[in-house]
Amino acid sequence: MLYLHNSLTKKKEEFKPINPGKVGMYVCGPTVYDYVHLGNIRSYMTPDILRRYFEYQGYEVRLIKNITDVGHLTDDDIAQGDSGEDKIEKKAVQEKKTPAEIAKFYEDDFREVEKKMNILPAQYFPHATAHIPQMIRIIGTLIEKSYAYEKNGNVFFDVTKFPEYGKLSGNTLENLEVGARLEEHPDKRNPWDFALWLKAPKEHLLKWESPWSIGYPGWHIECSAMSTEYLGDTIDVHTGGEDNIFPHHEAEIAQTQCATGKKYVNYWIHTRHLKVDGVKMSKSKNNFYRLKDIEDKGYSPMALRLLLLSSLRQTQLNFTWKAMDQAKSNLQRINDFILNMEALSTSQDTESGFDIDSYQKRFEDAMDDDINTPLALSVFYELMTEANILLMKSSLKGQDAKKILAFWKRINSVFGLELHGQVEIPQEILDLVKKRENARKNKDFQTSDKLRDEIERLGYIIEDTKNNNFIIKPARDAKHNDAG
Ligand code: AMP
Ligand code: ZN
């Protein structure tokens, strides 16, 4: 049974889907005004692993990841996320491009990074700018129900009308203090109200007609509009980085629940920050590494994936190159091990004594415990150690290797590591190997030697092992020890 730590209740809760066999997931996606950095990647890895584990368990998952191409304002650290300039528009002015060009450029970067990281694509990537009518509709409902009010063309959500406000973040109205981090808007009834719609100044590029003014939406309303549009009023799982908890997700809960009258999200899953030198990695602080920086230094995206899998999303992670080195060598270890198993699995014996079931159980126990990927990985590392010891004693059989490979394939559907040089021996080669085996049985060594040469010419090597067994490897993986 899968248990997930829910940031709303602060407890581990058994996962129960709204519809049997199905899971709806909403992921707060990128604000496309700059390159995706490793912190963003960490926050997208969490829903990817969770989604893969749901699929491993047989669920049909619908995952929606939005593209924020309007509404995310620059003064992130100030209160309700409704102060400052539009991040994309600001970049567009700086670079003398249109906001759409900026958004497209950085969305392409995001898509490429996700692909390289082997993050499974969402079923749909809705854009905020394509959902303005849905946002206007929700804002209209909120005004009708008196949860929101309009003044001078601006519309705000009245936080005093929603008693549950602050439940997710702990920022209840009693706890909130009007301090330096709060920029008061003259049209707000109380300083903690947040913007649903803002009237656009004349020079503003991103603006739409609405019943209240020509303007643009607040940042939070877009996720309510897109999540309910594609997943319904109540959704199973909503994820984001920990900085999304307040004000973004707190606001999403308030406005969505007040509009629909229903519970918004059953499981809130947040990923703690990735830091550099103890400071949150972020675009606005310009202290970030991109995937490209990692690759330029000779690390593969899969080494980064392994690094991220090796830490708990529930704890902050400090990025270091030493940890990258460790991940790189662990990846190599897995890679070599799988290649050895591939090779061994071609041997023709039929017996097997390797107990895979206990490893599978421990893998699932680790994943069931709030997606503990470091523990799940350590189960596989243990398997490798046991198998390697048996291999050295020549007591690991072809059938064992086959079982191990099948197990790896299954758990790697969750880890999502693409290994280099993982090979399947082509049928043509396997047929030649069989012929050679028959020739050897008939003591026709001339034919068997000829077949071995033919196999080598096709790029594979046969290595004889103990007990009349042999394994087949691609030539590049074989150890050449002839003085030749
Ligand atoms: P943004 O593009 O800034 O809207 O961020 C996209 C996603 O990345 C959001 O879910 C953020 O919470 C998350 N995020 C941003 N910085 C970090 C970080 N340093 N560590 C983990 N997640 C982050
Ligand atoms: Zn969002």
Residue-wise pLDDT for 54-69, tens only, equals: 999 999 999 999 999 9
Of 223 and 343, more confident: 223
**Could you count the other beta carbons within 10 Å of the beta carbon of residue 271?**
24
Report d(CA 62, CA 66) in Å as an integer: 13
| Closest Cα to atom 6 of ligand 1 | 30
- Which of 224-233, 300-309, 420-429 is the least confident region? 420-429
Q: Is the pLDDT of residue 165 over 80?
A: yes
Q: Is the pLDDT of residue 466 over 80?
A: no
Q: Find the 461 Cα to ligand 1 centroid distance in Å.
A: 48
**What would the mean pLDDT of 117-138 be, rounded to a whole number?**
97
- In sequence order, what are the beta bridge partners of 60? 22
Each residue's pLDDT tens digit, 134-144: 999 999 999 99
What are the distances in angstroms from CA 377 to CA 67, 75, 324?
A: 31, 39, 16
Q: Is the pLDDT of residue 481 over 70?
A: no
| Closest Cα to atom 17 of ligand 1 | 39
Fold of 16-271: Rossmann fold (3.40.50)
**What would the mean pLDDT of 267-276 be, rounded to a whole number?**
96
Contact 48, 107 (CB under 8 A): no
Contact 195, 82 (CB under 8 A): yes
User: What residue has token string 């990281």?
Assistant: 117
The token pair at 158 is 């009245």
Q: Find the 126 Cα to ligand 2 centroid distance in Å.
A: 11
Question: Which CATH code is given to the segment(s) 321-415?
Answer: 1.20.120.640
Report d(CA 250, CA 170) in Å as an integer: 9
Q: Find the 31 Cα to ligand 2 centroid distance in Å.
A: 9
Continuous segment of H or E residues that includes residue 140: helix 132-144
Q: Which atom belonging to ligand 1 lies closest to the Cα atom of 283?
A: 3
Q: Which atom belonging to ligand 1 lies closest to the Cα atom of 28?
A: 10
**What would the mean pLDDT of 251-269 be, rounded to a whole number?**
98
Neighbouring residues of the ion ligand 2, judged by CB less than 5 Å: 28, 223
Each residue's pLDDT tens digit, 331-348: 999 999 999 998 899 887
Q: Which atom belonging to ligand 1 lies closest to the Cα atom of 68?
A: 4
Residue 484: per-residue pLDDT: 29
Q: Find the 42 Cα to ligand 1 centroid distance in Å.
A: 8
Residue 79: per-residue pLDDT: 62
**What would the mean pLDDT of 444-460 be, rounded to a whole number?**
89
Q: Which atom belonging to ligand 1 lies closest to the Cα atom of 34?
A: 2
**What would the mean pLDDT of 90-106 be, rounded to a whole number?**
89
- The ligand that comes nearest to the alpha carbon of residue 218 is 2
Residue 428: per-residue pLDDT: 84
**What would the mean pLDDT of 374-395 be, rounded to a whole number?**
95
Task: Provide the pLDDT confidence category of residue 180 given band limits of 50, 70 and 90.
Answer: very low
Q: Is the pLDDT of residue 179 over 60?
A: no
Report d(CA 470, CA 467) in Å as an integer: 9
pTM of the shown model: 0.88
- The ligand that comes nearest to the alpha carbon of residue 73 is 1
**What would the mean pLDDT of 207-212 be, rounded to a whole number?**
96
Task: Provide the pLDDT confidence category of residue 87 given band limits of 50, 70 and 90.
Answer: confident
Report d(CA 344, CA 474) in Å as an integer: 12
Contact 290, 37 (CB under 8 A): yes
Report d(CA 248, CA 219) in Å as an integer: 8
Q: Which atom belonging to ligand 1 lies closest to the Cα atom of 241?
A: 12
Q: Would you put residue 177 in left (φ > 0), alpha (ψ -120 to 50) or beta?
A: beta
Each residue's pLDDT tens digit, 352-366: 889 999 999 999 999
User: According to the per-residue pLDDT averaged within each range, which of 200-209, 374-383, 458-467 is highest?
Assistant: 374-383
Residue 256: per-residue pLDDT: 98
- Give ligand 1 pocket residues (Cβ under 6 A): 28, 30-31, 39-40, 42-43, 68, 240-241, 243-244, 271, 273-274, 280-282
Residue 337: per-residue pLDDT: 94
| Closest Cα to atom 15 of ligand 1 | 40
**What would the mean pLDDT of 413-422 be, rounded to a whole number?**
86
**What would the mean pLDDT of 396-404 be, rounded to a whole number?**
94
Residue 343: per-residue pLDDT: 87
- The ligand that comes nearest to the alpha carbon of residue 222 is 2
Q: Is the pLDDT of residue 470 over 80?
A: no
Residue 72: per-residue pLDDT: 76
Residue 207 one-letter amino acid: K
The token pair at 334 is 């897995």
The token pair at 312 is 């708990």
Q: Is the pLDDT of residue 482 over 50?
A: no
